[in-house]
Chains A and B, each alone.
Chain A
Amino acid sequence: MIRLDSVTFYRYSTRVGHLRRVDNRAVVLDGVTVQINAGERVALLGENGAGKTTLMRIMAGVFEPHRGSAAIHHDSSAILDSGFGIELWLTGRENAESRLILSGVPKGERQELIASLENFLELGTYFNEHTHTYSVGMLARLAFGLATLQPRAVLIIDESFGAIDERFQRRAWNRLSEIIEQGSVLVMASHSLEQLRTYCTRGLLLKNGSLVADGPIDQVIATYSST
C-alpha cells in the first residue's frame, strides 16, 4: 500500500537547531524505510519537529523525497491541517461542494454526498452559514467530514481530533472503522497516547527525522514514554 525506502527530506528555509544539516539544508527525514500494508492502522509518535507531518505529507504524495523512493497509493485523503481547504467566507455546504469539485467528483454525485455529510456533521443551520462563524470544534468536525466524505484507500490524519467533542469523536471513530473495514490504511499522528492506543495497532517512533522504533502500538508507546 505504502512503501518508503531510505526516504530523506531536506528543508531549505529555516535554521532548525536540533536537526542535522547537509549542504546548508536541515535534514527533516533521514533515511526512513517503512512499509504499510492494507488494513493497517498506524500511529506516528515523536516530539514536536521529529518529522511526523513531513512523513505524512510524503505518504500523501504532497512532498517528493529528495533521496530514496516513495511508492504511495494515490487514492488517499489527508487531514494534515485542521483548517485546510476551508474557505471562511463560504458556507459549510459551499466548502463541501468546492472540495468535491477539487476532487473531480461529477456534478450528479455531489448532492448526494453533501446530503450525507450534512447528516453526519449535525451542524444544523450552521451548515448553510459562512464558516467564519464556526467554533474551532465545528471547524474540526467539518475538516474531518470533508476528509472522509468519500471512501479512500489511505486516510492520513494529523492531530485533528483534539477540538472535537466526545460525542462526535465516537461518531467519527465509527466512520473511521467503516472506512478501515473496507481495507483502507489509517495513518495517524497525535500527542494523545490514549487516542493512538484506541485507534491504532502499530506504532512508528520518529526522533530528529529518524525512525527509531517500529512495532505493536503498546510497545512503541512504552519506548516513547521512556525516552
Chain B
Amino acid sequence: MLSEYFRFACRSAGEYQVWSHLGWRDLRVRFSRTRLGPWWSTLAQSVLVIGIATATSLIAQENFREHLLWVSVSLLVWTFIANVILESIDVFSLERGLLLNTRINELSFSYRIVWRQVLLSLYSFPIPVVCAVVSSTFSPRLFLLPIFVALTGAALVTPSFLVGYITLRRRDFVQIIPPLVQFGFFFSPVMWQVPTSGRLAALSTFNPLAWTMEGVRDLVLGGHVFGRNLALWVIFVFASIMFLPSLAPIAKQVRVRI
C-alpha cells in the first residue's frame, strides 16, 4: 500500500514534461494577443508595489526608498502564495477535458499551477532588483529570492491539491476560500513585521505564512539567515513534500467525482 502511495507521488513528479508544458501553455493562452505578454504581470505588480510602498511609508512615516525593497520582496512572495491557492480552486473542475480523456496524474495539475506561478514570479523578479538599485541596498542575496519562491512552491503542491479537491466536492468552498486568503493577508506579516512579544507574536509562532514571510526577509534582506523562521520554513517545506504520497487515496476520487 505504502509503495503504491510513493509511486503515485513519484509518477506526478516524473510527469514534469507534462506539467511544465501545460504551465507554459497556460501563460501563452492567458496573454495571447496582448502586446506585452507576461510582462503585463510585471507592470501590474510594479503599480501595486509603488502604491502600497507609498501608502505604508506615509502611514509608518518611513523613508519611501528604504521601504520600497521590503514591500517588493514581501508582495512578490505573498502574490505567489495567494495566486497558487486562488487558482487551485478550479484546478480540477476546469480541467474536465484532460481529466476525463487522459491518464495524467491528478497531482500534475497542482504542479502545473505552481509552475505557472513560479514563471510569473520570475517575470516579477526584476521589480525587487530595480527597487534595490534605486534604494542603494542591492545585495547578491537578492538572487536567492527565486530559489526561495520555487521551494515554497514545492510546499504549496499539497495545499493546492487539497483546495482543488475540497472545492470539487463542496462547491460552497469556492465562495469561502477567497475571503480566507484575504484573511491570511491581514493576519500574516505581509505588510507588517512580527513583534518580539505579545499575543500577535505568539500567534505567528504557529502560522506557516508568518514563517515564510519572515523567512524570506531574513534570507534576502539581511536578517538572521539561520534564524528560527527560516528553520521553521524549511521544516514546513519538507513536511509538505513528505505529505504528497498520502494524497494518493484522495486523488483516486477526483476523476470519479468530476
- Whether A85 and B25, one on each chain, are in contact in the complex, defined by CB atoms closer than 8 angstroms, is no
Whether B232 is near chain A, meaning CB under 8 Å from some CB there, is no
Whether A84 is near chain B, meaning CB under 8 Å from some CB there, is yes
Instruction: Report B-chain residues with C-beta under 8 Å of the C-beta of A162.
Output: none
Instruction: Report B-chain residues with C-beta under 8 Å of the C-beta of A60.
Output: 101, 103
How far is B84's CA from A106's CA once the two chains are assembled, in angstroms?
30
Instruction: Report A-chain residues with C-beta under 8 Å of the C-beta of B7.
Output: none
How far is B25's CA from A86's CA once the two chains are assembled, in angstroms?
12
Which of B22, B100, B104, B257 meets A80, CB within 8 Å?
Answer: B100
Whether B21 is near chain A, meaning CB under 8 Å from some CB there, is yes
Instruction: Report B-chain residues with C-beta under 8 Å of the C-beta of A98.
Output: 21, 25
- In the complex, the chain B residue whose C-beta lies closest to that of A101 is B21
Whether A104 is near chain B, meaning CB under 8 Å from some CB there, is yes
- Whether B32 and A89, one on each chain, are in contact in the complex, defined by CB atoms closer than 8 angstroms, is yes
Given contacts A63-B255, A89-B32, A90-B29, contact A102 B100 (CB under 8 A): no
Given contacts A89-B29, A90-B28, A101-B17, contact A62 B100 (CB under 8 A): yes
How far is B104's CA from A78's CA once the two chains are assembled, in angstroms?
13
Query: Closest approach, in angstroms, between the C-beta of A38 and any C-beta of chain B?
Result: 21
- Whether A81 and B21, one on each chain, are in contact in the complex, defined by CB atoms closer than 8 angstroms, is no
Whether A183 is near chain B, meaning CB under 8 Å from some CB there, is no
Which residues of A (59-94) have their CB < 8 Å from a CB of B?
60-64, 74, 78, 80-81, 83-85, 87, 89-90
Whether A48 is near chain B, meaning CB under 8 Å from some CB there, is no
- Whether A80 and B101, one on each chain, are in contact in the complex, defined by CB atoms closer than 8 angstroms, is yes
Query: Closest approach, in angstroms, between the C-beta of B15 and any C-beta of chain A?
Result: 9
How far is B100's CA from A12's CA once the two chains are assembled, in angstroms?
15
- In the complex, the chain A residue whose C-beta lies closest to that of B256 is A12
- Whether A104 and B25, one on each chain, are in contact in the complex, defined by CB atoms closer than 8 angstroms, is no
Interface size class of B (residues with CB under 8 A): 20 to 34
Whether B224 is near chain A, meaning CB under 8 Å from some CB there, is no
- Whether B29 and A10, one on each chain, are in contact in the complex, defined by CB atoms closer than 8 angstroms, is no
- Whether B101 and A102, one on each chain, are in contact in the complex, defined by CB atoms closer than 8 angstroms, is no
Interface size class of A (residues with CB under 8 A): 20 to 34
Given contacts A87-B25, A102-B21, contact A62 B101 (CB under 8 A): yes
Interface class of chain B by DSSP: helix
Whether B102 is near chain A, meaning CB under 8 Å from some CB there, is yes
Instruction: Report B-chain residues with C-beta under 8 Å of the C-beta of A81.
Output: 97, 100-101
Whether B11 is near chain A, meaning CB under 8 Å from some CB there, is no
Query: Closest approach, in angstroms, between the C-beta of B17 and any C-beta of chain A?
Result: 6
Given contacts A81-B100, A89-B29, contact A102 B252 (CB under 8 A): no
- Whether B29 and A61, one on each chain, are in contact in the complex, defined by CB atoms closer than 8 angstroms, is no
- Whether A85 and B97, one on each chain, are in contact in the complex, defined by CB atoms closer than 8 angstroms, is yes
Instruction: Report B-chain residues with C-beta under 8 Å of the C-beta of A78.
Output: 101
- Whether A62 and B257, one on each chain, are in contact in the complex, defined by CB atoms closer than 8 angstroms, is no
Chain B 164-178 near chain A by CB (<8 Å), digits 1 or 0:
000000000000000
- Whether B256 and A11, one on each chain, are in contact in the complex, defined by CB atoms closer than 8 angstroms, is yes
Query: Closest approach, in angstroms, between the C-beta of B106 and any C-beta of chain A?
Result: 12
How far is B25's CA from A185's CA once the two chains are assembled, in angstroms?
32
Instruction: Report B-chain residues with C-beta under 8 Å of the C-beta of A57.
Output: 100
Whether A24 is near chain B, meaning CB under 8 Å from some CB there, is no
Which of A74, A85, A104 meets B98, CB within 8 Å?
Answer: A85
How far is B257's CA from A62's CA once the two chains are assembled, in angstroms?
13
Instruction: Report B-chain residues with C-beta under 8 Å of the C-beta of A12.
Output: 253, 256-257
- Whether A85 and B101, one on each chain, are in contact in the complex, defined by CB atoms closer than 8 angstroms, is yes
Query: Closest approach, in angstroms, between the C-beta of A10 and any C-beta of chain B?
Result: 7
Given contacts A12-B257, A13-B257, A84-B97, 7 further A-B contacts (CB under 8 A): A60-B101, A62-B103, A74-B103, A85-B97, A87-B29, A90-B25, A98-B21
Across the A-B interface, give the 7 residue pairs with the lowest CB-CB distance, nearest first.
A84-B101, A89-B29, A101-B21, A84-B97, A89-B32, A80-B101, A61-B103
